[in-house]
Amino acid sequence: MSKLERLLNLTALLLETRRPIPVEEIGRTIEGYAADPVAFRRAFERDKDDLRELGIPVEVTPIDPGDPSTVGYRIPNDRYYLPDLALDPGELAALTLAVSLVRTGGAVDVDTFRKLGGAPAAVEGGDLPVEAELPAPEALTALFGALNDRCVVEFSYRGEVRRVEPRRLDYKGGRWYLSADDLDRQAARTFRLDRFDGPVTAGPPGGFEPTDDEAGLRLEPWRFGDAAAVDVEVRIDPAHVAVAERLVGTATAQRREADGSLVVTLAVTDEGALADFVLGLLDHAEILSPIDVRDRFVARLEALAHGAPA
């Protein structure tokens, strides 16, 4: 049983009970916990912390008033379930409009609308127009599960099999990215999910330990390629230095010019992604060196000016 299944079963048990449940009873009821009492208690404490981090109010309540050390656990229904929001027809219509404009994949969940106060006729009929839909790559669900269960995953990427420890998923610029530790290359790598060649295969849960720096991973698309890294100098106008520093990070080699502009040195393995980054800053950034990289970027600009696709 995966950790996700165990958490779901634990949540259901603590929601359905009318009395605080002792920890020993939880261990006997929920599958997936170790038989060893010490290992079980460690796993239960982690699960309890995970649920609380998700906003689920796991309460600890004394069972015996005469013995404060005897406690049980439960999730109060009134603190878990969504209360009646009492939306008026205008508010519900506004919510419907918001869902109709942007969708993150799949059909409109009519049950969700009913829980919020009733689904408008357009939603019930299933003919709600969608103006924009966020892409949901096929690998996304498998990777979310692997992140939760700390599973090593294997997939084909640009024709090569990769075996990685997933660390983080990010959505930026209309694309999903996986940051991971590549086990065969012994280095951190970032992968675009739309470049996966097939399904993701996940190993058993608990395949690796979490690291302390996962929240600090930064998307640097110019480093996503497999070519040899080339140091490229990019100059950014003074008025856009703050934006550039957020994008490239403070660890990147950089220097200030007399006019206040910033010159950063980027380790580039994907010139196309570098060009997209520089183009995103419009005329407030320019590639200084190497000259061949600069020349290719200028040629790209000239092609764009003549109507070629980006």
Distance CA 226, CA 271 (A): 11
Is pLDDT above 90 for 25? yes
Number of other CB atoms surrounding residue 206 within 10 Å: 12
Helix or strand run (H / E) with residue 289: strand 285-289
How far is Cα 189 from Cα 179, in angstroms, rounded to an integer?
Answer: 6
Most confident of 154-158, 191-195, 213-217: 154-158
Token pair in block for residue 300? 């790209």
Instruction: Give the chain's mean pLDDT.
Output: 80
The confidence score (pLDDT) of residue 67 equals 73
User: Can you tell me the mean pLDDT for 258-283?
Assistant: 86
pLDDT at residue 288 in the model: 93
- Show Cβ contacts of residue 251 under 8 Å, excluding neighbours closer than 6 positions: none
> For 53-79, what is each residue's pLDDT tens digit?
888 999 998 887 777 778 899 999 888
What confidence score (pLDDT) does residue 241 get? 81
Question: What pLDDT digit, counting tens, does each position of 89-116 carry?
Answer: 777 667 666 655 555 555 555 556 555 5
Q: Report the sign of the C-alpha dihedral through residues 245, 247, 248, 251, in that order.
A: positive
| DSSP H helices in the chain | 3-16, 23-29, 37-53, 77-80, 89-101, 110-115, 121-124, 139-149, 241-248, 271-280, 291-305
Q: What angle do CA 41, 76, 115 make, to 5 degrees?
A: 125
What are 7-16's pLDDT values in tens digits? 999 999 999 9
User: Please, what CATH class does the domain formed by 140-219 belong to?
Assistant: mainly beta
What is the mean predicted confidence (pLDDT) over 138-144? 85
Q: Single out the residue of 26, 7, 32 nearest to residue 73, CA to CA.
A: 26
Q: Could you give the CA distance from residue 26 to residue 278 in angstroms, rounded to a whole number?
A: 56
Whether residue 30 contacts residue 10, with contact meaning beta carbons closer than 8 Å, is answered with yes
User: 85 or 56: which carries more pLDDT confidence?
Assistant: 56
pLDDT at 215: 46
22 pLDDT band, cuts 50/70/90, is: very high
Q: Which whole number is the average pLDDT over 251-271?
A: 85
Mean of pLDDT values over 183-199: 89
As a CATH number, domain 230-305 is 3.30.70
Block residue for tokens 């309460």: 59
The whole-angstrom separation of Cα 165 and Cα 188 is: 9
Q: Which uninterrupted H or E stretch holds 178?
A: strand 175-182
Across the range 133-137, mean pLDDT stands at: 60
Pairing of strands 153-157, 160-172: antiparallel
Query: Do the beta carbons of residue 239 and residue 260 sit within 8 Å?
Result: no
Q: 30: buried, middle or exposed (CB in 10 Å: 19+, 13-18, 0-12)?
A: buried
Q: What is the CATH architecture assignment of 3-80?
A: Orthogonal Bundle (1.10)
- Res 244 pLDDT > 60: yes
The DSSP annotation for 43-77 comes to HHHHHHHHHHHTT---EEEEEETTEEEEEEEE--H
Is-contact 80 56, C-beta < 8 A?
A: yes
> What is the pLDDT, as a whole number, of residue 97?
61
What is the number of H-type helices and E-type strands within the chain? 11, 14
Q: Where are the domains of the chain?
A: 3-80, 89-133, 140-219, 230-305
